[in-house]
Amino acid sequence: MQVLVVGSGGREHAIALKLLESPKVDVVWCYPGNAGMAQAARIPKLAGSDVNTLAEFAATEGIELTIVGPEGYLAEGIVDAFRSRDLCIVGPSQAAAQIESSKVFAKRLMEKYGIPTAAYRVFSEYQEAKAYIEEMGVPIVIKADGLAAGKGVVVAEDVETALEAVRVTLSGQRVGEAGRRIVVEEFMEGQEVSILALCDGKTCVPLMPSQDHKAVGDGDQGPNTGGMGAYSPVPVVDEILQQEICQSILLPTLKAIHKEGIVYTGVLYAGLMLTAAGPIVVEFNCRFGDPETQALLPRLKTDLAEVLLAIAQGRLSSLPPLEWDPRACVCVIAASHGYPGPHETGFPIRGLDVLEKMPDVFVYHGATALRGGEIVTAGGRVLGVSALGDDIQGARDRAYEAMAQVEFENIYYRRDIAWRVLGTEKAN
């Protein structure tokens, strides 16, 4: 069959390569794609990038399955556009995608149905938010309501930082219109983990846990990014805790959405804080995570195409349990220096041919482009290197050994991915 992967990042590259492993898949199309995807898949030339143009392409080309990576397309209603043409697609409807596209929608849903989340207030005026922050004290968290590519959250350690975050977010300076309304939320202590679950409207199948590294700097210092690395499994999330998360958060959330008259299909991604009081929702996303996907798919042994088809066709319950490689996987993101702020692009990338010969190493292009036959940098998160190992330490060593072969001007990557679990292991 022919499959379309919508998106242009490392997550979509990982999905495309995994789909190509399936005997069910003959051709993978990627749009808009990147230089890495172009080496393995087909990149169509389209007159536009809107959801209706993509739906028309899928119908004309005879695409039998579409998977959507970026939240922006989901928030714009790409699933609704495809389904109106009876096209097979994996993802939530525009209404269901509000779980990510509006922090306010998600918080109010959780509050209404008793799903554990941090205390919060919603503001659109600076003075009201200022009074609340001065009353509550710090640390405190400021979140843009709308989609902000992972850059709409500020964890403020002092009042001055909090008020500046409120000012630049509400004014539109930080993330544009997405920040015209904000959520001010209590700060939670603990470790963050990502639990992604597959949903077909009736059945919920959680994937293995993973942990993202959102801050740009080592030790989780500096501003938030779209993600600088990830690893899986997460030792602190054992089978008992996974069951608790499913019973207290995932299933109640899906039931809550259903009670609101919305059927949720696709991937429900729960970003959780493991606190002394138990797991609490930090945020929900409505799609595969990036870079969590790059740490999960190398471990998945089940045919991804079969799983995605089962989601789209509402028959997840008919599948056997997912099969996983017992080894660990660590993904390290190579970024352009300056990211998530201003950064230069267009630099040639060297060493990719060496990585192709390294066993159990996977290279996923994020922001790359072809220029004069050369692969060059084309954005902030340039590429990810994932590696499998017998344990997290082994996978991490392998990933950094591979990353050391990659060269481009102004390359930057964190040197401490998986530091929390490895620090814990060393302490023991």
Tell me: the pLDDT tens digits for 128-177?
999 999 999 999 999 999 998 878 899 999 999 999 999 999 999 989 99
- Of 243, 143, 138, nearest in space to 195 by CA: 243
The arithmetic mean of pLDDT across residues 121-127, rounded, is 97
The arithmetic mean of pLDDT across residues 391-414, rounded, is 98
The arithmetic mean of pLDDT across residues 292-305, rounded, is 98
Q: Are 246 and 196 in contact (CB under 8 A)?
A: no
Alpha-carbon separation of residue 200 from 1, 264, 413 (angstroms): 21, 7, 37
pLDDT of 203 over the 80 cut:
yes
Q: What is the DSSP string of 320-360?
A: PPP-B-SSEEEEEEEEETTTTS------B-B-HHHHHTSTT
pLDDT value at residue 150: 75
pLDDT value at residue 427: 32
The arithmetic mean of pLDDT across residues 388-406, rounded, is 98
Predicted structure pTM score: 0.95
pLDDT value at residue 424: 46
SS3 225: coil
- Of 18, 4, 2, 17, nearest in space to 307 by CA: 18
Of the pLDDT bands very low, low, confident and very high (cuts 50, 70, 90), residue 426 is very low
Report CA torsion sign: 129, 131, 132, 138: positive
The percent of residues in the chain predicted with pLDDT above 90, rounded, is: 96
Q: Residue 5 forms beta bridges with which residues?
A: 30, 67
pLDDT value at residue 263: 95
The arithmetic mean of pLDDT across residues 392-419, rounded, is 98
- Judge if the upstream peptide bond of residue 348 is cis by omega within 30 degrees of 0: no
The arithmetic mean of pLDDT across residues 370-391, rounded, is 97
Strand order in the sheet with 27-32: 27-32, 2-7, 65-68, 89-90
pLDDT of 327 over the 90 cut:
yes
Token digits for 169? 């977010």
Model confidence pLDDT, tens digit, residues 29-59: 999 999 999 999 999 999 999 999 999 999 9
Backbone angles phi, psi at 3, to 5 degrees: -125, 145
**CA angle 97–101–102, rounded 5-degree value:** 115
Model confidence pLDDT, tens digit, residues 254-275: 999 999 999 999 999 999 999 9
Token digits for 173? 């300076």
pLDDT of 425 over the 80 cut:
no
The arithmetic mean of pLDDT across residues 17-25, rounded, is 98
Model confidence pLDDT, tens digit, residues 76-121: 999 999 999 999 999 999 999 999 999 999 999 999 999 999 999 9
Residue type, 250: L
Mean pLDDT of all residues belonging to the chain: 96
Q: Are 6 and 73 in contact (CB under 8 A)?
A: yes
Domains of the chain plus CATH, in order, are 2-94 (3.40.50.20), 125-180 (3.30.1490.20), 191-318 (3.30.470.20), 328-427 (3.90.600.10)
Token digits for 195? 């639990």
Compute the distance between CA of residue 157 and CA of residue 352 in angstroms, rounded to an integer: 40
Of the pLDDT bands very low, low, confident and very high (cuts 50, 70, 90), residue 247 is very high
